[in-house]
Amino acid sequence: MEYYNYLKSLHLIFVITWFAGLFYIVRLFVYQIEANEMPSPEKEILQKQYKIMTYRLWYIITWPSAVLATIFALSLLHLNPAFLEMPWMQVKLGFVFLLFLYHFKCHKIYTELQNNKVNYTSNFMRLWNEGATIILFAVVFLVILKNAINWIYGVVGIILFSVLIMLGFKFYKRIRTKKSE
């Protein structure tokens, strides 16, 4: 147990870098999709640069962080298996499962964009970026409060915050559209 806090610290560090990678990769997806609509040669220049940036972010930061966060989490659970019986941990693991689904979907989108397949709009990607935020809020509230019920208040709060962000985005888009006319 003397190494428990070191493992916990490493787990937290790699969870943070994993989320940072997920937040930024989706932002890069937005830029890649918008670059696809630009005229040549700007389109080709930007697409090439964004492909390099997403490749480096995805394979040098995001994937390794996900793997290391998982390894350290499993190590922590191995050292203290009683956590698995706690309701808050079971709910947290449900959100971790959703996080992996989100990650794998981002990988699919990454692969499509690397192959010049644009199947989503930049607006969809902006909304998609909120998924990781909601998962992050839920997990943090669960871990801090250690209560399988109280995390709901935090998640409801972030959903309301996300709705406000979306409304602000729609308002900004409307203003931007009027200025370009």
pLDDT at 154 over 80: no
Q: For the full predicted model, state whether its pTM sits above 0.75.
A: yes
Distance CA 44, CA 175 (A): 28
Concatenating the DSSP letter of every residue in the chain gives -TTHHHHHHHHHHHHHHHHHHHHHHHHHHHHHHHHTTSPTTHHHHHHHHHHHHHHHIIIIIIHHHHHHHHHHHHHHHHH-GGGGGSHHHHHHHHHHHHHHHHHHHHHHHHHHHHTT---S-HHHHHHHHHHHHHHHHHHHHHHHH--TTTHHHHHHHHHHHHHHHHHHHHHHHHHHHHHH-
Per the annotation, binding residues for heme are 11, 92
Domain parsing of the chain, residue ranges: 4-180
Q: In the chain, what is the greatest distance between 2 CA atoms, to the nearest angstrom?
A: 65
Return the pLDDT at 67.
98
Q: Between residues 179 and 36, which one has the greater pLDDT?
A: 36
Per the annotation, binding residues are 11, 92
Mean pLDDT of 62-83: 97
pLDDT range class, residue 167, cuts 50, 70, 90: confident
In terms of C-beta distances under 8 Å and separation of at least 24 residues, what long-range contacts does 170-179 make, across chains too? 173/123
pLDDT at 173 over 80: no
Return the pLDDT at 149.
65
Dihedral over Cα of 174, 179, 180, 181: its sign = positive
pLDDT at 152 over 90: no
Distance CA 180, CA 129 (A): 26
The type of residue at 70 is T
The region of weakest confidence among 6-10, 23-27, 110-114, 138-142 is 138-142
